[in-house]
Structure 1
Amino acid sequence: MNNRYLKARTLARSKHTGQFYGDLPYYVHLEAVSRLATPFGTDAMIIAQLHDVIEDTETTVDELAADFGFVVADAVSYMSDGKLEDRVKRKAMINQRLASLEADEESARLALIVKACDRLANVRASKHGSQRHYEMYKLEHESFKAAVYREGLCEAIWWELDNLIEPLKEQ
């Protein structure tokens, strides 16, 4: 494995110590996202390991830039939720930010890919473990996809995500 990736994985595990993903240590989620990001290169895998450190810990963008460079730090920053308690407002804010990204910028491209990988990992886990979360992701899917999807960017991720979500049936 790449030394930068191992450094990111070690840092993420350290920063998320004591945090859980359901009943599992938080790193289980980070590993799932990283596996999904593997086809997109080492930087995508590094970003996958670090994608929640800004929003879930005291880690700063400057710390990430010093350790991993501006491409990684900017991508993680683009993906990070704000600190608003209200999920609907928080997701609207991040979706607006993600929708404005230009996929020809490297940090933006990687952020969009890893964000899709993150959502797929969450949907996979919730479909088999938390019906409440799965239903939440179904309700958010249309606005999430409108913000994050870019044609040709990571089609296999979106194909599986769309198929797991299943379109909402009209009443």
Structure 2
Amino acid sequence: MNNRYLKARTLARAKHQGQMYGNVPYYVHLEAVSHLASPFGTDAMVVAQLHDVIEDTPTSVDELAADFGSIVADAVAYISDAKLDDRYSRKAEIHQRLAALNVDEEAARIALIVKACDRLANVRASLHGKRAYFTVYQEEHSSFKQAVYRQGLCEAIWWELDNLMSRSQAS
């Protein structure tokens, strides 16, 4: 494994210590997202490990930039929810921000990939856990895809995500 990835994994586990993802430690979710991001390179795996540290811990963008560089820090910042009170407002704000990203910028490209991987990991987990979360992801799917999808960027991730959404709607 790459040293930058191991450093990111170690930092993320320390920052998320004590947090849970359903009934498992939070790092289980981070590992799932990193696994999905692995075909897209080390930076995508690093961002996958760190994707929730700004949102869920007192970690700053500057701290991430000092440890991992501006591409990783910017990518994590792009996909971090704003500190707004309700889910609807948070998602509306981040969808607007993500829709404006240009894939020609490396940090934006990685952010969009990791955001899609994160959603797929969440959807997979919701199918084996609380079905109410899956319903929320179904309701948000259209606006999420409109904001995050870029043709040719990570088609296999979107193929599975779209299939899970449509197959479960039919059942």
Same fold (TM over 0.5): yes
Matching of residue 14 in structure 1 with residue 11 in structure 2: no
Residue identity matched to 1:23: N
What is the CA deviation profile of residues 84-105 of structure 1, one whole-angstrom value per residue up to 9, with x for unaligned ones? 1210010000000000000110
Where in structure 1 are there 5+ consecutive unaligned residues?
A: none
Alignment correspondent of 2:50? 50
Off by >4 Å, runs of 4+ in structure 1? 167-170
Q: Percent identity?
A: 74
Letter in 2 for 1:50: L
Q: AA paired with 2:99?
A: A
1:34 corresponds in structure 2 to: 34
Counterparts of 1:10 and 1:96, CA distance in 2: 32
Q: 1:165 to 1:106 in 2, by over 3 A?
A: same
Identify the residue that residue 80 of structure 1 maps to in structure 2: 80
Q: Residue 169 of structure 1: CA displacement?
A: 6.1
**Once the two structures are superposed, what CA deviation does each residue of 1:29-86 show, in whole Å capped at 9, x if it has no partner?**
0000000000000000000000000000000000000000000000000000011121
Q: For residues 169 and 158 of structure 2, what CA distance do their matches in structure 1 show? A: 20
Distance 1:158 1:13 in 2: 27
Distance 2:56 2:45 in 1: 18
For residue 127 of structure 1, report the CA deviation from its aligned partner: 1.2
Query: Normalising to structure 2: TM-score of the pair?
Result: 0.97
Cα separation, 1, equivalents of 2:124 and 2:168? 17
3-state SS of paired residue (2:128)? helix
Give the CA deviation at 1:167: 7.1
Given the alignment of the two structures, is residue 165 of structure 1 paired with residue 168 of structure 2, yes or no? Answer: no
Distance 1:162 1:13, change over 3 A: same
Aligned to 1:106: 106
Structure 1 distance, partners of 2:32, 2:167, is 24
Superposed CA RMSD: 1.2
Using the size of structure 1 for normalisation, the TM-score is: 0.97
